[in-house]
Chain A
Amino acid sequence: MSRARWLGRELGPPLVGIVGAIVLWAILAATTSIPSPATVWTAFLDGMRDGTLPDAAAKTLIRLAFSFVVAVVIGTALGLALALNEFARRAVRPLVVALQITPFVAWVPLAVIWFGTTERAVVFVTIVGSFPAMTLATLQAVRQVPPVYERTGRTLGARGWPLYRKVILPAALPGVMAGLQQAWGFAWKALMAGELIVAAAHAGLGHLLDPREGVAIPTVFAALAVILVIGVAVDYLLFGQLDRRIRRRRGLVVGA
């Protein structure tokens, strides 16, 4: 396949989606008080020029990267532990589900009481908001491994940790990848809730979402757009490609 056709097939559908969304947005803006795409674009350029947007994005991304890595490590480890031990699973899984359905915002006041309006409060909210998704996805992924792989491994002489490391974990990997993508989305949401409320003194993209802090509405939209673009780009370019590679290797992608 030629490179141009490959690009067209890869990027065509998402481009149609994005252009469609911008057209819809322009129509909405013409009939309501929502700022138009052009106004937001100007606000974006201004924000880039005076440094507010890059500064906020950098702060946010550092917090996000740290919190996400911690959440993934904790979440995966806990998910595996729960998958291995039935007692622990039955004891702890309901608690993880409870954490999962707790709204992120509910953590923010508590975090402020415990940590003050500090960096730690925001990071705490982000970790608590995203690790349960990772735990539940890992647990589910391990439990959905087709029994024939475990049986095969056991009859070949594997047991204990080698059985998990060489058979169960690789078999569960596609499901764990799905958890990674979910946790990424949750980490963003939780971090934005945290920054929006806590980090008045620690500017980040979330802070730029708050018009009550004197942020102009077009800038709010520009910050929102930056959040979405970064979030989608990482999901698509990093997790999405990784996921596709894993699936293709296993013959799980039809026609690829």
Chain B
Amino acid sequence: MAETVATLEHPPAGPARPKLAVRDLVVTRRTASGEVITATDRLSFEVAAGEFVCLLGPSGSGKTLLLNVLAGLEVPTSGEALVDGRPITGPAPDRAVLFQEPSLFPWLSVRGNVEVALEFVGVPAPERRDRAQRWLANVHLERWADAQPHELSAGMRQRAALARALAADPDVLLGDEPFGALDAQARELLQQELQRVWAESDSRKTFLFVTHNVREAALLADRVLVMSAAPGRLLEEFRIHAPRPRSLDDVLVGRVVSEIHDLLMREVDASVAREMAR
């Protein structure tokens, strides 16, 4: 077992129960060659209700697996993953997921994709169309409601996926590098859209996004959790108090970006050194 790389100050205990919590979470995965790799190692953190948290770390730090555990798509090896204090036993519509790869159903229209999500949670048929149309309008896709997903640009598809994820009114939105495959302009547009949607949701939703883009994390998050290289543990956390909507020109945001960037570079160097010493 590796020595402790850095200690984490636990976030101050909030008055309310955290929305999401992981405690001493160990996730292992088996590679194609059969080797067992520890992806996250006794990881603990909490996310308060209504908070926007970004998980940042070098690739291979187990971020995606961790997110899948919270989504209920993977089972942890040991430790706990909790939503509202209850163990997560499987996927449920209270935790929507935005995947990195295109996930719109290609056999349905854009509106059909949103409608089917409403159908899955039992919204009666007559209401679906209007609700879907409202959500599409919210991400500025109302004119594309009847288009097929393949007729949309990658950025528009991800916006449609966002509308679909939020249409069933989940408490939590989990993002697995949802903007990772987009070009710079589409990415920026979506980051703005996402901030607006998060700020506007009436009962503010809890967002937990995995990313390896430092600027994205600093732009979006209330709090950035930085993970170590594999096996993933928490290195440090940064609270960002800059007002929204944020811009990278903001002095505070810029300072956080360079601090996180330095920390990550040191971590990558250290992990390379650890690998060499093995």
A residues with CB within 8 A of B = 148-149, 151-158, 162, 166-167, 170-171, 173, 246, 249-252
B residues with CB within 8 A of A = 71-73, 90-93, 95-97, 99, 101-103, 105-108, 116-117, 119-121, 148-151, 164-165, 168
Closest beta carbon of chain A to B172's beta carbon, Å = 11
Q: Is the interface of A mostly helix, strand, loop or mixed?
A: helix
Contacts of A151 in B (CB 8 A): 71, 73, 91, 97, 99, 103
A161 vs B101: C-alpha distance in the bound complex, in angstroms?
A: 25
Among candidates A154, A157, A249, residue contacting B107 with C-beta atoms closer than 8 Å = A249
Among candidates A148, A157, A251, A252, residue contacting B92 with C-beta atoms closer than 8 Å = A157
A156 vs B91: C-alpha distance in the bound complex, in angstroms?
A: 8
Number of A-B contacts (CB under 8 A): 72
Contacts of B92 in A (CB 8 A): 157
CB-CB nearest in chain A for B161:
A152
A173 vs B106: C-alpha distance in the bound complex, in angstroms?
A: 11
A-B contact pairs, 11 of them (CB 8 A): A149-B103, A152-B99, A155-B71, A155-B73, A155-B93, A156-B117, A156-B168, A166-B119, A170-B108, A171-B107, A251-B151
Contacts of B105 in A (CB 8 A): 149, 152, 167, 170-171
Among candidates B72, B91, B116, B150, residue contacting A166 with C-beta atoms closer than 8 Å = B116
Asked whether B103 lies within 8 Å of A148 as measured between CB atoms, the reply is yes
Contacts of B97 in A (CB 8 A): 151-152, 155
Among candidates A155, A158, A162, residue contacting B95 with C-beta atoms closer than 8 Å = A155
Contacts of A166 in B (CB 8 A): 116, 119-120
Asked whether B106 lies within 8 Å of A250 as measured between CB atoms, the reply is yes
A159 vs B220: C-alpha distance in the bound complex, in angstroms?
A: 32
Given A151-B91, A151-B103, A157-B168; 17 other pairs, CB 8 A cutoff: A148-B99, A148-B101, A151-B71, A151-B73, A151-B99, A152-B99, A153-B120, A155-B93, A155-B97, A156-B120, A157-B93, A170-B105, A249-B106, A250-B148, A250-B150, A251-B148, A252-B106
CB-CB nearest in chain A for B152:
A251
